[in-house]
Amino acid sequence: MDEASRTDDGGGIDYARRAKAILGFSRWWQIAAAAGMMAAVSPYQYVWSSIEGPLAENLDIALPALGAVFSFYVVFQSLSQLPAGWWRDRRGPRNLTYLAAVLAGGGYVGLAYATSVWQLYLLYSLGAIGVGIIYTIAVNTAVKWFPDRTGLTTGIGTMAFAGGSALLVPYVRANATVTGYADVLRNVGVGILVVLLVGAVLLRDPPEEWLDREDGDDDTDDGQLAPSLRGRAYTTREMLRTWQFWVLYAMFVATAGADLLVVANVVRFAEQLGLAAVVATVSATLLPVAAGVSRMILGEVSDRFDRVRVMAVSFALAGLFRFGLVGAGRAGAPIAFVGMVLGAMFFSSPLYVYFPSIVADYYGAEHSSSNYAVIYSAKVGGGVFAGTVTGFLVAAFGWVPTFALGGALALAAGLAALVLRPPAGADLGDTTAGS
């Protein structure tokens, strides 16, 4: 796996050459390892809607009793990134990845043996902590090694998180019976454990000084500061004092809520609308594919064009496709319904690319793990909306108004993006918003 040299137009930094001198091999192998780990832990988010039925049946409880499991997953997956990001910025990724392997792999294996609801909640929450650790490690591996292609490389990692479950969904749904699901859960758990252990061996962080001097000045003590480091490196506390952070945080809550509403409920929504079972299966199978592919494509687009404008258009289209999804479902048009699901996910899922990229654009890469972990905690609000709040809204108003509200949230986030401006001292380089 090799790459052509890529330089920063403003200062002649050969990022690829410097990374290879440090690693001994292409920096793209770091992205491959991160993407593999993201794919391995993705079932926690994208397979839940396929296994909750047999779990509820095996435990002899009503399905709504498991309604908060997804919310718990989002809370623990999101908040675990705060301490994990702090530790990773200071100590590196290896020991954290070993811990995540035990938590995420063991959580899925444990589900196969759960005999009560509290065990299921506990195991899924512990696994979610492992997922959160892997997520912050993988996303910020891209930020730290690829300051020149942040959108594309974070897109590859988050694409793997979304698309990694695409091959698993048909397998899980084909075996989603009381007698068959336990073997599925054990197999998935062992697979998670093995992949994460391999990733722990491969991952490294670049040394702090790797971009401090211009190419050709590496052996001197007075080399000039590289252009990519001339911008201010905001600490988390400093970031919290900027108004841009609060706009980004509100946008994340809205877009994550709209995104997870579809992820967690598309199967039940299709069933409630009276669409054939195959429509629900196709939607659940292709949904992570659309989400994954879009992250790589639109991540690259956001590197090449004004990132803020790409975000605005993307989120606005995500909202419109959600309105179309509701309309197609009510009209009983299965092909249009699947198409609208794919469009809705294609334009909303890159939120997990846009936000880490713009955090690095606005606040620097030095504290990227900690800073993005704080932004990512907004997913808690989105997860609570997609799980617990959605259950309340569906009971009170029905599925159609609830899904329409998701469309309104995405559209509002697109409009909010238009007010963003870089904070004072931010280095915009050649790939950031507002360039």
In angstroms, rounded to a whole number, what is the distance separating the alpha carbons of residues 71 and 375?
Answer: 18
| Torsion sign across C-alpha atoms 91, 94, 100, 102 | negative
pLDDT for 177? 63
Segments forming the whole domain that contains residue 87: 15-417
Give residue 339's pLDDT.
Answer: 92
- Mean pLDDT in residue range 136-160: 80
- Sign of the C-alpha dihedral computed for residues 15, 17, 18 and 24 taken in this order: positive
Q: Write phi, then psi, for 7 (nearest 5 degrees).
A: -120, 155
Residues 6+ apart with CB under 8 A from 350: 155, 158, 294, 295, 298, 299, 302, 314
pLDDT, position 410: 94
Tell me the CATH number at 331: 1.20.1250.20
Bridge partners of residue 7, in order along the sequence: 14
Q: 6 CB contacts (<8 Å, ≥6 apart)?
A: 14, 15, 16, 148, 149
Q: List residues bridging with 14 in a β-sheet.
A: 7
| H or E segment to which residue 31 belongs | helix 28-41
Classify each residue of 327-365 as buried b or exposed e, where b means 16 or more C-beta atoms within 10 Å of its C-beta: ebbeeeebeebbbbbbbbbbbbbbbbbbbbbbbbbbbbb
Q: Which residue has the higher pLDDT, 434 or 336?
A: 336
pLDDT of residue 231: 54
Mean pLDDT (whole number) for 318-347: 90
- CB atoms under 10 Å from CB of 65, counted, come to 12
Q: Is residue 5 part of a domain?
A: no
Q: pLDDT tens digits for 362-377? A: 888 777 778 888 888 8
87 belongs to a structural domain: yes
- pLDDT given for residue 209 in this prediction: 66
Q: Are 278 and 153 in contact (CB under 8 A)?
A: no
Q: Give 250-270 pLDDT, tens digit per residue.
A: 999 999 999 888 887 888 888
> Please, what is the Cα angle at 307 between 303 and 313, to 5 degrees?
120
Rounded CA separation 391/397 (Å)? 10
CA distance 105 to 81: 18
Provide the pLDDT confidence category of residue 153 given band limits of 50, 70 and 90: confident
Helix %, strand %, coil % of the chain (to 5):
75, 0, 25
For residue 77, name the pLDDT band (cuts at 50, 70, 90): confident
pLDDT attached to residue 10:
42
For residue 372, what pLDDT is reported? 86
Q: Which residue has the higher pLDDT, 47 or 358?
A: 358
Taking the C-alpha atoms of residue 289 and residue 303, their distance in angstroms, rounded to an integer, is 22
Beta carbons within 8 Å of 388's beta carbon, 6+ residues apart: 67, 68, 71
Query: Is the pLDDT higher at 103 or at 170?
Result: 103
Per the structure, the count of domains in the chain is 1
Query: Sorting pLDDT into bands at 50, 70 and 90, what band is 426?
Result: low
Structure tokens at 245: 């952070």
Q: Is residue 371 one of the residues assigned to a domain?
A: yes
Would you tell me the crossing angle of helices 243-272 and 277-304 to the nearest 10 degrees? 160
pLDDT at 273: 81
CB 347 within 8 Å of CB 294: yes
Which residue shows structure tokens 């397998």?
A: 171
Q: Is the pLDDT of residue 316 over 60?
A: yes
Percent of the chain with pLDDT over 90: 20
φ/ψ of residue 14, rounded to 5: -95, 90
Which tens digits make up the pLDDT trace of 263-294?
A: 878 888 888 887 888 888 888 778 878 887 88
For residue 330, tell me if it sits in a domain: yes
Q: In 273-349, which residue ranges form alpha helices assigned H by DSSP?
A: 277-304, 307-330, 334-348
CA distance 350 to 23: 29
Residue showing tokens 């713009």: 358
286 class by beta-carbon count within 10 Å (0-12 exposed, 13-18 middle, 19+ buried): middle
pLDDT of residue 64: 66
Cα atoms found within 13 Å of the Cα of residue 34, Cβ hemisphere only: 29
The mean of the pLDDT values for the chain is: 80
The pLDDT of residue 320 is: 95
Given a cut of 50, whether residue 9 has pLDDT beyond it is: no
- Residue 425 lies inside a defined structural domain of this protein: no
pLDDT tens by residue, 104-119: 999 989 888 888 888 8
Lowest-confidence range among 119-123, 159-163, 360-364? Answer: 159-163
Look at 150 and 93; give whichever has higher pLDDT.
93
Q: pLDDT tens-digit profile of 183-241? A: 888 888 998 999 999 988 888 878 776 666 454 444 433 333 333 344 567 888 899 99
pLDDT at 322: 93
351 belongs to a structural domain: yes
For residue 411, give both structure tokens. Answer: 């559209």
Q: What is the pTM of this model?
A: 0.72
Q: Is the predicted pLDDT of residue 181 greater than 80, yes or no?
A: no
Q: Is residue 427 part of a domain?
A: no
Max mean pLDDT among 95-99, 140-144, 214-218 falls in: 95-99
Distance CA 188, CA 166 (A): 13
| 101 or 70, which is more confident | 101
Residue 327 covered by a domain: yes
Half-sphere exposure of 408 toward its Cβ, with a 13 Å CA cutoff? 6
